[in-house]
Amino acid sequence: MINWENTTELDAFNKLLASVSVNLQEVMAGAEGARRVAECSVPMAAGLVYNYAAKAVDGDILNILAELADEAQLIQKYRELYNGAIINTGENRLVLHHLTRGQLGNAVIADGVDKREFYLSIEKEIAEFADKVHSGEITNEAGERFTAVVQIGVGGSDLGPRAVYMALENWCRAKDRLLMKAGFISNVDPDDALNVIGTTDLEHTLFILVSKSGTTLETLTNESFVREKLAEAGLKPSRHMIAVTSRTSPIATSDEYMKAFFMDDYIGGRYSVTSAVGGVILSLAFGPDIFHRFISGAAEADKMADNPQILENAALLDALIGVYERNVLGYKAMAMLPYSQALSRFPAHLQQLEMESNGKSVNRFGEPIDYDTGYIIFGEPGTNGQHSFYQLLHQGTDVIPLQFIGFRKSQTGSDLEIQGSTSQQKLCANVAAQIMAFACGRDNEDTNKRFDGGRPCSLIVGEQLTPEATGALISHFENKIMFQGFIWNINSFDQEGVQLGKTLTRDVLSHKTDGALKGYSDLLGI
């Protein structure tokens, strides 16, 4: 039997509150520190490794975290999710993004359909369409090949696909697999759309409208902008537009689109990159085989997340340590620091994934809770961030945990030795140095130059950022956030917090305003 209990009702959590804290500087110093780094690694999918040596945990705390995982029934709840239980209680829906990349448990039947077979059929449709575009079977009005693709979407319809495209663009270019250049329009600010359109060869570009409901205001506004520009260029918009939407949306059967690919209500936007939301643009840009390799990495990580042993399950361990830091040590934010320029948009994707999922103040039954949930997530790729916000991370009054991501090899293999080391070696050296600086600090008689240390860090490290590794990273953080939501007894799969602003925006645009709302509307010239 599955029990859904608030965090503070769990015996293991209260045991955790009474635990003895670890002095991070002491355990990371000298020979003991070297042994700790060697011992505190957990294998991940696609050859990645999660290292937690610079986290303030020891054997006693890890034992309590294992008890917490068991008492909170984290693995059982994960199995309930992927076997088709209604986990999204706010919207009374199943949660099925795992099914877009593999069958973990029993067949899931919803709306009279085997959902795994449905997702496979959509993936096959996408692959066939992409192959026809690449071969020149599908062309523009002049019979010429499409050479570029632009996605029109917002939120999860933009952040995940954009982050993954940017993650793999250089890798595919180096492998001669960048088949179509991709662009993205997301902000309703007309300058965003105009900037993309102004640098795009409209005649040879496909546009993908992504909207589950087919009614998203920002997305439809940008679509209209694009259609107008296509018409001004003497092009027929319907020959340049395809859609990703639900079967029930008003655009599902519209003849204004060359083709429609379907998604459903069981996959939230921020979890949708392995569905048609990411599948269409990534298959067009890189080829269906690269997209399949990407989702295969995610599928492997999903399987590894099903292991009840916390020292063999990186997503589970990462989640548990995060709850310890948030609810026992009291840390409110987390910095995501990928030391890979290819992952430059990854922190923004994870920001939405974490803050839209676990930014909740009521439990899954709608009851107020009296403990902290979620993290404030921010980040930039290294080494850029070191010359930006690291000052506060090192010497500010708040302790902020840090998640580093690094790779031993660059994506392109192109590097140059300068002053006795290559650029990639310099990049990796910065990762090692920063982790030690944050964890151990350095004393100095000049307090302005004193580093207190004690800043906890984790490191995900791999050989190279490949399609499989990118998928494994996506899955790792999705599953970490899921496990934390289970511990906090909240619904990580709805996002009512984004709805009020949408409603008030419609009121402003229809001039149904009074009071301060009218005042702001007037101030902005609406």
Q: Which residues are catalytic?
A: 356, 387, 502
- Extract the tokens encoding 402: 């840090």
DSSP letter, residue 385: G
Question: Which residues contact residue 182 at a Cβ distance below 8 angstroms, ignoring those fewer than 6 apart?
Answer: 148, 149, 150, 151, 165, 169, 281, 284, 285
Q: Using alpha carbons, select from 335, 347, 353, 447 the residue that is nearest to residue 398.
A: 335
- Cα 59 to Cα 36, 203, 372: the distances in Å are 12, 62, 25
Pairing state of beta strands 333-338 and 402-407? parallel
Taking the C-alpha atoms of 341, 345, 351 and 352 in order, what is their torsion angle to the nearest 10 degrees? Answer: -160
- As to burial, measured by CB atoms within 10 angstroms (0-12 exposed, 13-18 middle, 19+ buried), residue 144 is exposed
Amino acid at 455: R
DSSP alpha helices (H): ranges in 92-216?
115-135, 159-174, 190-198
With contact defined as beta carbons under 8 Å apart, do 343 and 381 qualify?
yes
Identify the helix (H) or strand (E) that includes residue 113.
strand 113-114
DSSP letter, residue 20: P
Question: Could you tell me which residues are beta bridge partners of residue 114?
Answer: 109
